[in-house]
Structure 1
Amino acid sequence: MHGWRAQFENALRVLARISRAMDEAGHRPPILVGGAAVEIYTGGQVTTGDFDLSCGRQDLLEEQLVRFGFQRPTGAGKATRGWVHPELGLGFEVVSDTLLDGMADRAMVRILELDADGDVAIIAPEDIIADRMGQYASGSAPDMLGQARALYGLCEDLDLAYMERRISEETAGGHGLQDLADEA
């Protein structure tokens, strides 16, 4: 499906089932952000090793993670913020309770339908591009410019006015759409 690695698609399907369980219990499901969103929007051309999530109810999400077989890594040298599933091989971590600190428009979130497994909410490509540009502008992640450009080149039907505003917000006015088209 969609050219994704089998491991990645299996993890997406588990996330869809977790999201459906949260929705059926009357709670807003998590939103997939970060590298996994980039992997989806690039059709697997950029890959990740984890799923970062934004969820207002981390406690309820973690209950579902346990219910679906996830465990927290333990022992010396193991990160304790995330969750792993023994069969999936990809980590899941709640990185925020508010999508991009409230800067992202939730109406822009896209829904990926995964048949009988349910749906996964994904940060809008415009917002993940703006986030990558912000990381690049901060100087902490120079490689993020390449990810932002790859996303820009591969995503269709982008709201350019919204994305221009979001890039400006994330980069304190230092960057805009022109930086996505410029050659490195």
Structure 2
Amino acid sequence: MCALLTDFLQQDGIRPVIVGGLSVEVFTRNNYTTYDIDLICDGRDKIDALLTKELDFKKEGRSWYNEELEISIEIPDNFLEGNGDKVLLLELQSGRNIFVIGIEDIIIHRLESAVVSHPKNPEWADDYEWAERLYQIHKADQEIMDLDYLMKAANKAGVKSIIDEWLESE
């Protein structure tokens, strides 16, 4: 669905970027499962017209849902919280493309969520576990993860000490 939306939107120069749970699912090779699609992009009117008029989705707030397809799509924002230069273009087996937020920013967002939900013990949060898994899976892959950027972004977000602990335990 994301690849089809990407094809459709790119005709107008719009780049939808997968964020949220689906980005975690992509980078954990489907070990994480989500039931909705979160996209950051402009073009809400174009998406709304496609989904509601052509594909029978129902709109509620900033989300669209199709019961028959069991797909929920949300556009939480027009602007990416993270580095646009780190967004990855991935080619699917179908030959279609998707854009996914950089793994470093996913890790940061998950750690920020863990700290908010469990300030004294962020490691108790599921988001902490997924952030650590993402880090462990991709830490050696310099094509996917930029450790320098990760550490700078983590410092700025106030979660660098967590990643420092991971580094110390290696």
SS in structure 1 at match of 2:55? coil
Q: Does 1:126 align with 2:104?
A: yes
Q: Percent identity?
A: 24
Q: 1:16 to 1:117 in 2, by over 3 A?
A: farther
* Corresponding position of 1:112: 90
Give 1:163 shift. Answer: 0.6
* Corresponding position of 1:4: none
Q: Aligned to 1:137, which of 115, 119, 123?
A: 115
After TM superposition, list the pairs within 5 Å mapping 1:53-132 onto structure 2.
53-66=39-52, 69-72=55-58, 80-100=61-81, 104-116=82-94, 118-132=96-110
Q: 1:68 to 1:43 in 2, by over 3 A?
A: farther
* Corresponding position of 2:157: 170
Instruction: String of CA shifts for 1:96-153, please: whole Å, max 9, x gaps.
Output: 11001xxx22111011212556211100111100111111122368221101001111
- Which consecutive residues of structure 2, in runs of 5 or more, have no partner in the other structure? none
Q: Which amino acid aligns with 2:72?
A: G
Greater alpha carbon shift after TM alignment, 148-157 vs 38-47? 148-157
* Corresponding position of 2:35: 49
* CA–CA separation in structure 1 for the residues paired with 2:92 and 2:160: 38
* CA–CA separation in structure 2 for the residues paired with 1:80 and 1:133: 27
Q: CA RMSD in A?
A: 2.4
* CA–CA separation in structure 2 for the residues paired with 1:121 and 1:51: 13
Give 1:70 shift. Answer: 4.6
Greater alpha carbon shift after TM alignment, 32-41 vs 133-142? 133-142
* CA–CA separation in structure 1 for the residues paired with 2:117 and 2:61: 27
Structure number with higher relative contact order (C-alpha < 8 Å, ≥ 6 residues apart)? 1
Q: 1:70 to 1:149 in 2, by over 3 A?
A: farther
* Corresponding position of 1:3: none
TM-score, normalised via structure 2 length:
0.81
TM-score, normalised via structure 1 length:
0.76
* CA–CA separation in structure 2 for the residues paired with 1:92 and 1:70: 13
Q: Aligned to 1:154, which of 137, 143, 151?
A: 137
Q: Aligned to 2:4, which of 17, 24, 28?
A: 17
* CA–CA separation in structure 2 for the residues paired with 1:166 and 1:88: 37
Give 1:180 shift. Answer: 3.9
